[in-house]
Structure 1
């Protein structure tokens, strides 16, 4: 068990100083781990996590599923390695004009990563990869909160709220992007049917039906809501500083 954990950690941190474990049998190195993970990520991006298997990846490499095991370990380890590799943080400069702008830049960058790889939002928080790329995001956010002197007692809560909001809005955006025109039409038809069958629907639910969406384009609403949520959180954190 400990040997498996050690090998997995070495794979996760292979580009940050750890040495890759080498297969115990056969040639020392036949396959490239980055290439294996790149194929797995491409499969997940195209068809979701159910499309990812060692057999599917091996087929792309002209190899066998068993041949991949020494390089990635278990299926869960494979997914964790993919998760961390797909989470690589792009470069950007932290805005210095306000806490809201700095948090918006961080949130936007993570939002774009999640939209590019929607399956990342399907991985439970309990299955964080514990890899360097995911750690980079947390460290960057913690540095922003520290730079703007957010009280220590508020930082963990702010981290949770930001991650949760980014994940939720990115997942919704990705779902909207996958929705066909037929799906959108069916949603509208159901809403119209409810109004027809429940003519006092607005009177029953006056506050919720009076809510105004952030933008006229429903597909853009999750991203707009993220921006507003970050602004509200930054205001609350600023008043607590």
Structure 2
């Protein structure tokens, strides 16, 4: 028995990368806790720092969640805040993850289309509740726990429909990007400047110019009252769902 074990190659455990080589915020989002440092025990936790940042962002927008403002809200100096977060980029990653939070418990869908629609509606609600999430830099995508939980939920729906995991990931990225873009458009249309550009007045101004300057398709849409105007709610998502359906049923 002992001789046989000698012939079994030893399995080497993968070496954990240095957290400093990872994108900002990734390691603390998964590992938690302030980085070990010399000196007295920290008076706060990373979670408390992030919660203070979320409160500021909810109240006044992403710019308000600055290191000095967060430090002041916790009774700390800005330098003391670096005991909990290594940089502004790290803080933003943790802030975004907390802002998204875990996805809601969605009802069991009747079919995969209903599941994707429910997911997209939940994402739009989250963006509407916290529009500052739209200002968070992409920085390689959401690789933090809560944001990946949203992706996992969407992948479960898409793989359950019959897509391979690789195709499901591509479709999940499509739906995620679409939700983000839709939320941005809704925010712009409901913002304080939206009323300053009445659609009918803009159409009246553009119609003759589009027709005379070589924009026949846009001129026709303007004449019919369809431009400039947003596409009907849900139009883009339904077309994306049609594309996913085609992927599920390839032409033979």
Query: TM-score band, normalised by the shorter chain?
Result: 0.7 to 0.9
Moved more, 72-81 or 21-30: 21-30
Contact 2:154 2:172 in 1 (8 A): yes
How far apart are 1:166 and its partner, in Å? 0.7
- After the TM superposition, which residues 1-241 of structure 1 pair with which residues of structure 2 at under 5 Å, given as runs? 2=18, 4=20, 8-13=25-30, 18=31, 20-152=33-165, 154-180=167-193, 182-185=195-198, 188-195=200-207, 203=216, 205-206=218-219, 208-209=221-222, 210=224, 223-240=233-250
Q: 1:230 to 1:107 in 2, by over 3 A?
A: farther
How far apart are 1:49 and its partner, in Å? 2.9
In structure 2, what is the Cα distance between the partners aligned to 1:58 and 1:45? 17
Please tell me whether Structure 1 or Structure 2 has the larger radius of gyration of its CA atoms.
2
How far apart are 1:54 and its partner, in Å? 0.3
In structure 1, what is the Cα distance between the partners aligned to 2:25 and 2:210? 56
Q: Gaps (5+ residues) in structure 2?
A: 1-16
Q: Gaps (5+ residues) in structure 1?
A: none
* Paired residues, number: 231
How far apart are 1:101 and its partner, in Å? 0.4
How far apart are 1:67 and its partner, in Å? 1.1
Structure richer in helix, relative to its length: 1
Secondary structure at the aligned position of 1:43 is classed as helix
Secondary structure at the aligned position of 2:139 is classed as helix
Which of the pair has the greater relative contact order for Cα pairs under 8 Å at 6+ separation?
1
User: Deviation per CA, 1:41-60, whole angstroms, max 9, x where unpaired?
Assistant: 23334443333310011122
Q: Note the aligned Cα RMSD (angstroms).
A: 3.3
Secondary structure at the aligned position of 1:240 is classed as coil
**Stretches (4+) displaced over 6 A:** none
Secondary structure at the aligned position of 1:136 is classed as helix
User: Deviation per CA, 1:155-180, whole angstroms, max 9, x where unpaired?
Assistant: 23312211111110011112223234
In structure 1, what is the Cα distance between the partners aligned to 2:56 and 2:250? 45
The TM-score, its normalising length taken from structure 1, stands at: 0.77
